[in-house]
Amino acid sequence: MSNSQSTGLPVWVQERDTVIANDAGVEWREGKRPDYA
């Protein structure tokens, strides 16, 4: 998960909304994106 706006911080210390906004191309464990609601 990286893009031009990456903070360089590990995913677990970034803001939740930042991580969710930049999750394109992620291979999910269960094969589909989790429901973050």
b/e code 1-37 from CB counts within 10 Å (16+ = b): eeeeeeeeeeeeebeeeeeeebeeeeeeeeeeeeeee
Q: Is residue 30 helix, strand or coil?
A: coil
Residue 5: pLDDT band with limits 50, 70, 90: low
Give pLDDT tens digits for 13-26.
Answer: 998 888 888 888 88
Q: What are the residue ranges of helices labelled H in the chain?
A: 16-21
Predicted confidence at residue 6, as pLDDT, reads 60
Answer yes or no: are the C-beta atoms of 36 and 15 closer than 8 Å.
Answer: no
